[in-house]
Copies of this chain bind each other. A is one copy, B any other.
């Protein structure tokens, strides 16, 4: 099969690899769509994310939808041809975190496109059935792939206890901020503010139902917001600090955006208001919810897609956001390129 490989910083190329074979309890999935994530771009540009270093060729991509191509032994829950979304991490299943249902915290997680594990910029992947989720036809291939970032939004809302009537501030209107908007509304939030400096993204946030705060014009402290929940998606330490200082008593702060090694936490404010701060690291048990939200029309993931690329154009996909500020989410479709005879 054809795969797109990150060979080094700024170097992506298409190669041929053997099609993997599904083992017992696994299926082979033909990839239809793969979303490009900021982490893919970061590996492409820097060759590492924190302790995760790309020191041998790596297939990027972890937001994947497609269809079941073949079944491993003993698989009865899925059928060949079934349209599916891929949950891109396989935890060990045996450690205390896994047994407690927090499999996202499994120290032995094998996660797509995180060295040394390959991702989904390729024609086929093999996955255990527990992480391959059937989707109805009302969910497009692109949306099936984007259930992954939606899962980040859902997980953040769960950790932040967003519920009916919640007032939510989302800092950063990138793809994660925007699925945050959609998730928060789907969880019943009745006021969702989004701060950013990019007018294109703020406009999209507005279209999705949020109140846009252009913090290039006025700092967050000067907007009249007092959220119950802050979903921090900017990764900017100073912006995070300022946003925390708007949160209501007993409010929750979910720290999603990465990038800062140290956050200058305004301790007395956190203490006196008993804010609850936590991280959101990937997600656990979110696909059923994500599928229900998209299938019921409460969340529109296709609205986030701003471009499609074939495998041969993976590099263009990885540089789209850098080249065009109106980019939100681009998709790689391995099937767009001519496939070699197998």
The answer to whether B258 touches A271 (Cβ under 8 A) is: yes
1/0 per residue, CB under 8 A from B, across A3-42: the answer is: 0000000000000000000000100000000000000000
The answer to whether A273 touches B281 (Cβ under 8 A) is: yes
Shortest Cβ distance from residue A160 to the other chain B in the assembled complex, whole angstroms: 11
A320 located at the interface, meaning its Cβ lies under 8 Å from any Cβ of chain B in the complex: no
The answer to whether B164 touches A249 (Cβ under 8 A) is: no
Bound CA span A295–B271, Å? 30
A94 located at the interface, meaning its Cβ lies under 8 Å from any Cβ of chain B in the complex: yes
Shortest Cβ distance from residue A165 to the other chain B in the assembled complex, whole angstroms: 3
A93 located at the interface, meaning its Cβ lies under 8 Å from any Cβ of chain B in the complex: yes
Please, which residue of chain B has its CB at the minimum distance from the CB of A105?
B249
Assuming the contacts A164-B154, A293-B164, asked whether A270 and B274 have C-beta atoms less than 8 A apart, the reply is no
A102 located at the interface, meaning its Cβ lies under 8 Å from any Cβ of chain B in the complex: yes
Please, which residue of chain B has its CB at the minimum distance from the CB of A284?
B99
A325 located at the interface, meaning its Cβ lies under 8 Å from any Cβ of chain B in the complex: no
A276 located at the interface, meaning its Cβ lies under 8 Å from any Cβ of chain B in the complex: yes
1/0 per residue, CB under 8 A from B, across A145-184: the answer is: 0000000001001110001110000000000000000010
Please, which residue of chain B has its CB at the minimum distance from the CB of A25?
B94
Chain B residues whose CB sits within 8 angstroms of the CB of A186 once the complex forms: 164, 188
Chain B residues whose CB sits within 8 angstroms of the CB of A264 once the complex forms: 262-265
Chain B residues whose CB sits within 8 angstroms of the CB of A278 once the complex forms: 270, 274-277
Chain B residues whose CB sits within 8 angstroms of the CB of A266 once the complex forms: 261-262
1/0 per residue, CB under 8 A from B, across A281-311: the answer is: 1001100111011011010000000000000
Assuming the contacts A94-B128, A102-B250, A279-B274, asked whether A188 and B187 have C-beta atoms less than 8 A apart, the reply is yes
Chain B residues whose CB sits within 8 angstroms of the CB of A183 once the complex forms: 164
Shortest Cβ distance from residue A322 to the other chain B in the assembled complex, whole angstroms: 24
The answer to whether A270 touches B277 (Cβ under 8 A) is: yes
The answer to whether B279 touches A102 (Cβ under 8 A) is: no
The answer to whether A296 touches B101 (Cβ under 8 A) is: no
In addition to A165-B290, A277-B278, 19 A-B residue pairs with Cβ atoms within 8 Å of each other are: A93-B93, A95-B130, A96-B285, A96-B288, A97-B250, A101-B102, A102-B250, A102-B274, A105-B250, A164-B188, A188-B188, A261-B266, A262-B264, A263-B264, A263-B267, A273-B281, A274-B278, A274-B281, A275-B279
Q: Please, could you name 10 A-B residue pairs with CB atoms under 8 Å apart, sorted by A? A: A94-B129, A94-B130, A101-B102, A105-B274, A164-B293, A256-B271, A261-B267, A263-B267, A270-B277, A277-B278
Interface residues of A (CB under 8 A from B): 25, 50, 93-97, 99-105, 107, 128-130, 154, 157-159, 163-165, 183, 186-188, 190-191, 237, 249-250, 255-256, 258, 260-268, 270-281, 284-285, 288-290, 292-293, 295-296, 298
* Minimum-distance CB pairs A-B, first 9: A101-B101, A271-B279, A165-B289, A94-B130, A190-B292, A165-B292, A263-B265, A190-B296, A276-B278
